[in-house]
Structure 1
Amino acid sequence: MAASTKKRSPLWARICVGVGVGVLVAGAGTLVTGQALISKYSDAVTDNTLLDPIQPKPAEAAPAPEPDVDIDGAVNILLVGIDPRDDRTAPLADSIIVAHIPRDRHTAYLFSMPRDLRVDIPAFPKSGTGADRDKINAAMAYGSRLGNGKYSAAQGFQLLATTVSGVTGIKRFDAGAIVNFGGFKKIVEAMGGVEMIIDMDVKSEHLKPDGSPRDRTPACQGHHNCARPYTGVQKIYKKSTKPVRLKAWEALDYVRQRYGEGMTDYVRQRHQQQFIKAIAKQAMSRDVVTNPSKLLGVMDAAGGSLTVAPGDHTVLDWAMELKSLNIDDIVTVNLPGEGIFEGEYKGERFLPEVGEFFKAVREERVPAFLLDHPRFVNTDEE
């Protein structure tokens, strides 16, 4: 195991574990830290078609030989965070993050799709759904329908990927992953929490200071028809210029907040992206990679929480291709938008300059675009 820690895990895998989310939460990755974990997943993944993702299964295997990988051009990876669901409940994509890795592999750029973004959702014969215009998080639910009251998040991912492609103009995603929020909590617990900067005061909509659920108002008892049903004392995350260690339940709660003073879904996206960077950095720290019991706990938590889709290449291919990336070089991107009101709130839309950013992604000009548009770059300050 000691020898395996000398190798970097693939960036897409590290990203997918953290989010999840919100990811994503949705995401940051399978947290495949080292060659031993890479081989565990590479033997388990048998279908390399991006839009037919499968759940990796544990496998006892010797490390595979390093391949001669030929992955040309920029890489785009789709990361989706969902609430825990059974196969009788349609999954909603609560966190949607794209990781763009330029051809030179020196850095990565993370940007989010607002869950309420109003988009065109294509028809999807597999689920029997027609074309529609709706909030983007509904695309996964539409595509997930199997019939007989059953749903598949993996199938829904296919329609979501097509929908995100329509918004961004990215023709195809090279890899992808789905992580559920419950699994995300287990991953952070296995890591012993996560350290990240709290860039503004945030009040929890859902939890009390001790982590227990807040009380519901009398009018919102026994049903879920209230947009904001909670009342009473709230957990507060205080702004700090230095990293703060969050417990798993605190991290999950913090990155899900979008209500309250100064809060919007765009702020939540920023916090999710900051979390992804923080957990990926911690995953590669000596505290994790040199601690066998902690590393094994993270492996087990990740393996049971993720559905991965490595595209046309294996997980090991990605590990070798992206091994030179430095987590400190990850740039989190803010895509400005605004609400749509037609008598009532209908969702979100991007401002026109976001189209220019997507064009820069397609043409591999993101660094130059961000130099000309510095307000698109998130920082650890409000």
Structure 2
Amino acid sequence: MTQDAARPRRRWLLGLAALVAVALVAAGAVVATRLVSRSGPGPVAASATPTPSLTTGAPVTSSPTPPPPPGADVKGPLNFLIVGVDTRVTVPGWEPHADAVMVMRVEAGLKRAYLFSLPRDLVVDIPAFPKSGYPGGRTKLTHAMSYGSRVPGDKLHPSTAQGYELLRTTVSRYTGLRIDAGAVLTFFGFDRLVDALGGVDLYIDQRVASIHRRPDGQYRPHTASGYVGPQMVYEKGKRHLNGWQARDYARQRYIAGGDYARQRHQQQLIRALVRKILDQGLARDPDQVQQVVRTLGRTMVFVGGGRRVIDFAYALGGMPADGLVLVGLPGDGVRTGGAYRGEQLRPIGRQFISELRAGRADAFLTAHPTLRVKT
């Protein structure tokens, strides 16, 4: 493949990394409503119209006008909602829960993006949703997916796509951000993707003991009293993780810092994945590019408001490797009469969202550097 031919493929892949790597770390399972197109622009036919030469009069072939690249008309700012969903498909009638909710804001020039998480237990106003018969109420954010997924008259087959619709509306109203596109995805292809990349290098910032896995990667037995048996432990320091280890590490929330630490670890893993894809120069290996694309296609459902994932991916392809800024929004527990109700963002977290909406996120983060997630 020539350098010129590889460039469009590289732009597409890097944009895909910036968008999809976010989704890959979110925990959950997907009910696939449809697969998005993964093909790039078709070949351009050469024009056979001759034009006279200014020097010899011999006919020459004029160069065709290339079509615009995918997503050439995509402009910022853009807001993406990435959701990891726990569907427990083996349990009939289990309503999907949003275990990870991430928002990525891409600024107007498409050169800088901010990624932040909303707590799954964030107390929010969930609007009425006639499709599922939900009357509306104030409760935890994770329940928006559950309540929206209910199909009247069919308790055995909840709709994850329908639940995503209500969650998207809820997040948009809470943040004041218009959601342009989003994704829900599965745990199950994540292991294969990370392994296809040769694993991922990550700095583990605290000791994490897994409640789900043994050191050999097998699942720990679950009894009436909880999980039992030896635990996989991720010690602090620089580590190389394979697929199941990366996914397992990003799932853990019964650790120091709770769900806020899990959000941080998911974001750090996103950054590590993006760097891995960039550093390996995958665009120079067409076979590996196609392998990654096929893996993503099996594990992700993209909701693009009429646009294909390739449109957004190509538009984001010019973002530099350090253009993705990770932001951690602190929160506190909400209690009523001593009973725990959920979480709320601290004022500084709500202020960040307001400044982000106004296009002043960089200045706000400069004034409040502790909000930046270290990698």
User: Fold match, TM over 0.5?
Assistant: yes
Normalising by structure 1, what TM-score? 0.81
SS class of match (1:357)? helix
Identify the match of residue 285 of structure 1 among 254, 279, 282: 279
- Matched residue type, 2:270: I
Normalising by structure 2, what TM-score? 0.82
Q: Distance in 2 between matches of 1:81 and 1:158?
A: 14
Task: Name the CA shift for 1:312/1:57 in 2 (closer, same or farther; >3 Å).
Answer: closer
SS class of match (1:109)? strand
* Corresponding position of 1:236: 233
Report the CA distance between 1:26 and its aligned residue: 8.6
Report the CA distance between 1:282 and its aligned residue: 1.8
Q: Distance in 1 between matches of 2:354 and 2:40?
A: 43
Equivalent residues in 2 for 1:134-283, closer than 5 Å: 134-147=139-152, 148-149=154-155, 150-170=157-177, 172-217=178-223, 219-220=224-225, 229-240=226-237, 242=238, 244-260=239-255, 262-283=256-277
Give a deviation string over 1:138-173, Cα, whole Å, max 9, x none: 111111222312222122111111111121111x21
SS class of match (1:99)? strand
Q: Distance in 2 between matches of 1:89 and 1:215?
A: 21
Q: Gapped runs of 5+ residues in structure 1?
A: 28-51, 221-228
- Number of corresponding residues: 343
Report the CA distance between 1:283 and its aligned residue: 2.4
Task: Name the CA shift for 1:299/1:319 in 2 (closer, same or farther; >3 Å).
Answer: closer
Q: Gapped runs of 5+ residues in structure 2?
A: 45-66
Q: Distance in 1 between matches of 2:281 and 2:318?
A: 21
Q: Distance in 2 between matches of 1:55 and 1:142?
A: 25
Task: Name the CA shift for 1:139/1:96 in 2 (closer, same or farther; >3 Å).
Answer: same
Give a deviation string over 1:284-305, Cα, whole Å, max 9, x none: 3336333444333322221111
Q: Distance in 1 between matches of 2:128 and 2:245?
A: 39
- Matched residue type, 2:232: K
264-273 or 336-345: which moved more?
A: 336-345
Give a deviation string over 1:77-135, Cα, whole Å, max 9, x none: 11111235548432111111101111122221100011111111111112121102221
Give a deviation string over 1:13-32, Cα, whole Å, max 9, x none: 324533535315699xxxxx
- Matched residue type, 1:375: T
Query: Does the CA-based 8 Å contact 1:84-1:180 persist in structure 2?
Result: no
- Matched residue type, 1:143: G
Q: Distance in 2 between matches of 1:15 and 1:61?
A: 20
Q: Distance in 2 between matches of 1:145 and 1:336?
A: 32
174-183 or 294-303: which moved more?
A: 294-303
Query: Does the CA-based 8 Å contact 2:327-2:373 persist in structure 1?
Result: yes
Equivalent residues in 2 for 1:20-39, closer than 5 Å: 20=23, 22-23=25-26
Report the CA distance between 1:190 and its aligned residue: 2.7
* 2:354 is the alignment partner of 1:377: no
Task: Name the CA shift for 1:323/1:17 in 2 (closer, same or farther; >3 Å).
Answer: closer
Identify the match of residue 56 of structure 1 among 18, 36, 59: 36
Task: Name the CA shift for 1:376/1:157 in 2 (closer, same or farther; >3 Å).
Answer: same
* Corresponding position of 1:32: none
Query: Does the CA-based 8 Å contact 2:15-2:315 persist in structure 1?
Result: no
Q: Distance in 2 between matches of 1:211 and 1:16?
A: 29
* 2:85 is the alignment partner of 1:78: no
* Corresponding position of 1:43: none
Q: Distance in 2 between matches of 1:61 and 1:321?
A: 14
Query: Does the CA-based 8 Å contact 1:91-1:153 persist in structure 2?
Result: yes
Task: Name the CA shift for 1:21/1:266 in 2 (closer, same or farther; >3 Å).
Answer: farther
Q: Distance in 2 between matches of 1:16 and 1:71?
A: 14
* Corresponding position of 1:38: none
- Matched residue type, 1:78: L
Q: Distance in 2 between matches of 1:58 and 1:318?
A: 12
Q: Distance in 1 between matches of 2:271 and 2:235?
A: 20
Identify the match of residue 69 of structure 1 among 59, 69, 72: 72
Query: Does the CA-based 8 Å contact 1:176-1:308 persist in structure 2?
Result: yes
Identity of counterpart residues, as a percentage? 41
Identify the match of residue 321 of structure 1 among 303, 315, 319: 315
* Corresponding position of 1:119: 124
SS class of match (2:212)? coil
Q: Distance in 2 between matches of 1:331 and 1:25?
A: 24
- Matched residue type, 2:126: I
- Matched residue type, 1:331: V
Task: Name the CA shift for 1:157/1:95 in 2 (closer, same or farther; >3 Å).
Answer: same
Task: Name the CA shift for 1:21/1:322 in 2 (closer, same or farther; >3 Å).
Answer: closer
Give a deviation string over 1:293-351, Cα, whole Å, max 9, x none: 43333222211111112235443432443221013221100101011233332211111
Query: Does the CA-based 8 Å contact 2:27-2:100 persist in structure 1?
Result: yes
Q: Distance in 1 between matches of 2:73 and 2:37?
A: 26
* Corresponding position of 1:103: 108
* 2:353 is the alignment partner of 1:358: yes
Give a deviation string over 1:178-237, Cα, whole Å, max 9, x none: 1111232232233232222212211112111111122445x43xxxxxxxx123321111
Task: Name the CA shift for 1:361/1:26 in 2 (closer, same or farther; >3 Å).
Answer: farther
